[in-house]
Amino acid sequence: MDRMLVVVFNNESKAYEGKKALMQLDGEGSISVYAYAVLAKHADGTSTIKQGDDVGPLGTLVGTSVGSLIGLLGGPPGLAIGAAAGSLAGGFFDLHNVRIGDDFIDDVGKALTPNKVAVLAEVDEDWTTPVDTRMEALGGTVFRRALSEVTDTVNQEELTAMKADLAQFKAEQAKSDADRQAKIREKINHLTSRIQAYEQRILDRRRAAESQAQAKAQRLRKKADARPSL
């Protein structure tokens, strides 16, 4: 089952041990890790991604549920992005892509208090015992939630609403005097730019989802091929 996994630790050292343990479980075939990050919450309320260039088989956190969750847990004004993670900024705030409920985000947010560090990972996990046993031995508190299917329903509804507003502006412009037409034209130009940017965002998200699905499928095929025959 495709799941979001968050493990909260008391310090950075234990968090890195936790990430290492996850990758060992992946290597053993107990789970499949698709994307991961280590997020530290500082005493002053800021957050830092403690993550290098290697973020798992997907190769980037942009557009992933992990990237979106990072934005919700440590987003501005509290997020300090290191140079190694700078490319993630564009993917932080796709809130519809997080694919988990508000209650899960609230529970993790309450546990991730200042000076604590969390390992976030998108995993395929058939049973919970391997992860729970390893993380609890390291003092980690485990949160998990099955990821919902990605849909574009909300995005399409917002896009439809903006296009309806645009049509209304154009209708009013045709009936207005010259002075009023100029003001409406500014609104039309602004809304047109927003619609174009939003359409591009939906397209980019679909492409990212397709690319991630292909990477996951390839990952699972490789692991299946590597298993010894009975």
Per-residue pLDDT tens over the stretch 166-219: 898 888 888 888 888 888 888 899 899 988 887 887 777 677 667 767 777 776
- Is 9 found in the same domain as 94? yes
Strands 79-80 and 47-49: parallel
State the pLDDT at residue 97. Answer: 58
Number of domains in the chain: 2
State the pLDDT at residue 92. Answer: 41
Strand, helix or coil for residue 31 = strand
- Is 131 found in the same domain as 164? no
Phi-psi region of 88 (alpha: psi -120 to 50; beta: other; left: phi over 0): alpha
The overall pTM is greater than 0.75: no
- Is 11 found in the same domain as 118? yes
- Final residue in a domain of this structure, among 146, 166, 189: 146
Question: Tokens representing 121?
Answer: 């990972």
DSSP 41-94: E-TTS-EEE---S---TTS--TTSHHHHHHHHHH-TTSEE--GGGGGGGGGTT-
- Is 133 found in the same domain as 25? yes
- Is 132 found in the same domain as 209? no
* Cβ-proximal residues to 110 (8 Å cutoff; 6+ apart), any chain: none
Residue 104 near residue 143 (C-beta atoms within 8 A): yes
Higher model confidence: residue 101 or residue 11?
11
State the pLDDT at residue 56. Answer: 54
Using the structure block, give the residue that is written with the tokens 């996850």.
22
Distances (CA, A) of 47 to 40, 75, 78: 5, 8, 6
Q: What is the mean pLDDT of residues 93-108?
A: 69
Residue 101 has pLDDT above 60, yes or no: yes
- Is 157 found in the same domain as 132? no
Question: Tokens representing 152?
Answer: 């574009």
- Is 157 found in the same domain as 134? no
Number of H helices, E strands in the chain: 6, 6
- Is 136 found in the same domain as 103? yes
State the pLDDT at residue 53. Answer: 42
- Is 21 found in the same domain as 94? yes
- Final residue in a domain of this structure, among 99, 115, 146: 146
Domain encompassing residue 205:
153-226
Strand, helix or coil for residue 199 = helix
pLDDT band at 118 (very low <50, low <70, confident <90, very high): very high
Question: Tokens representing 112?
Answer: 């991730």
- Final residue in a domain of this structure, among 115, 146, 177: 146
- Is 186 found in the same domain as 132? no
- Is 168 found in the same domain as 94? no
Per-residue pLDDT tens over the stretch 121-179: 988 888 889 999 999 999 999 999 887 654 555 567 778 888 888 898 888 888 888 88
- Is 165 found in the same domain as 92? no
Q: What sign for the dihedral angle of Cα 211, 215, 220, 222?
A: positive
Per-residue pLDDT tens over the stretch 41-89: 888 878 888 754 445 554 556 557 777 788 778 654 444 433 333 334 3
